[in-house]
Structure 1
Amino acid sequence: MRILIISDTHGRTNTIRDVLDTVGDIDMFIHLGDVCGDEEYIYDNVTCPIHMVAGNNDWDSDLPMQEEFMIGRYKVFITHGHRYSVHYGTDYLQELVKYDGYDIVMYGHTHVQNLERYGGAYIVNPGSLAYPRDGMNGKYMLLEFDQHGTPFFAENELKPKRRMRSIFEDMWGDREE
């Protein structure tokens, strides 16, 4: 099973299109909020099961604030994270693991990739596909399982498909020395 995990696309449909083209076939698609209107594109273009939650910028969305589901034998909880104070750490998410028995907790909101273990559980943030705060390139994760069912999370960057222009080119144009 191959699962694409993204977050914080903020209406930049091109980043979703680019990551789908980059990763190829997937068995599940997870978006952790701040979809900002890209729901229709996702529903129209993703053919596998989709799990999406609303973020703090999805005030006009009908998406749920959080969702619980199973991936194989793993109990999964997804949320955007803004209601769990994730800018200050994952303490509240660790409480979910401790008291509700989740094996995998996924969140977004911080725009920074994070992969940590708490007890036997995984707490993961794929970073932001559109506006990363931990580098220049958009971030995402792939979750795959080995033959024994052990999960492996791969932290990835979406490489730009075109050359970025510098602010100085915009201001002064290409200059010959």
Structure 2
Amino acid sequence: MALELYMEFSRLSVYIGVISDTHDDARAVRAAGEAFRRAGVAAVVHAGDWTSPFSMLKLRRALGEGVPIYTVFGNNDGDRYTAAKRAADAGVEVLGEAGIIVLGGRKIGVYHGTALLLVEAMAKSGMFDVVIYGHTHRVDIRRVNGTLVVNPGEACGCAEEKKTAALLNLNTLEVELLDL
């Protein structure tokens, strides 16, 4: 019986929400949080450029309690002191400029992406199952030497005029793009 339960559990999909470049777009933050909640994500990874740290509270409210949120700083996250304070209030773990998290047995590198050379180096390093980044405001989903690279595009829609986020299945390493 225990083996059957384990096998059944291992077939379940474990999703995480992936978002970047929210740039204070409260509607997009709320829409992403609600979509992630409906999908039953195990965690959310934000690849930077919240712009205002108050957006973290908006995502927490839309997502609900109990789901971990991880983030890195982006180049537009200027007030890092207040961001760290608000992150603590919202239950968001700030990883700094870049970070490593392990979710669903997958090692995930997270970086905002201001230096694309570093994104490529992370992908080619063999250290990660997944590399998540943002900054370019363009969707980028590809494999590099077996590493899945994911840029969910921009949640704010301010550059490409398309508001997107993503769901990442940690079991299959498949990505579903979400229109916000």
Structures share a fold, TM > 0.5? yes
1:94–1:140 CA distance, 2 compared to 1 (3 A)? same
Q: Paired residues, what number? A: 148
What residue is the counterpart of 1:127 in the other structure? 153
What residue is the counterpart of 1:36 in the other structure? 51
1:1-177, aligned counterparts within 5 Å?
A: 1-23=14-36, 24=38, 25-37=40-52, 38-46=55-63, 47=65, 48-61=67-80, 62=84, 63=94, 64-82=96-114, 84=115, 86=116, 91-99=117-125, 101-131=127-157, 133-134=159-160, 136-145=161-170, 149-158=171-180
Contact preservation (8 Å) 1:53, 1:65: yes
Q: Which amino acid aligns with 1:33?
A: G
Measure how far apart 1:132 and its partner are.
Answer: 5.0
TM-score with structure 1 setting the length: 0.75
Gaps of 5+ in 2: 1-13, 85-93
Q: Which amino acid aligns with 1:26?
A: V
| Alpha-carbon distance in 2 for matches of 1:99, 1:19 | 31
Deviations along 1:43-90, one digit per CA (max 9) or x if unpaired, are: 4443201111110010212341111011222211111111x2x3xxxx
Measure how far apart 1:137 and its partner are.
Answer: 2.9
Q: Secondary structure at the match of 2:124?
A: helix
- Percent identity, aligned pairs only, is 27
TM-score with structure 2 setting the length: 0.74
Deviations along 1:131-170, one digit per CA (max 9) or x if unpaired, are: 2544x3301111124xxx2211112212xxxxxxxxxxxx
Q: Which one has a larger percent helix, Structure 1 or Structure 2?
A: 2
Tell me how large the CA RMSD over aligned residues is.
1.8
Q: Which amino acid aligns with 1:130?
A: C
Contact preservation (8 Å) 1:66, 1:78: yes
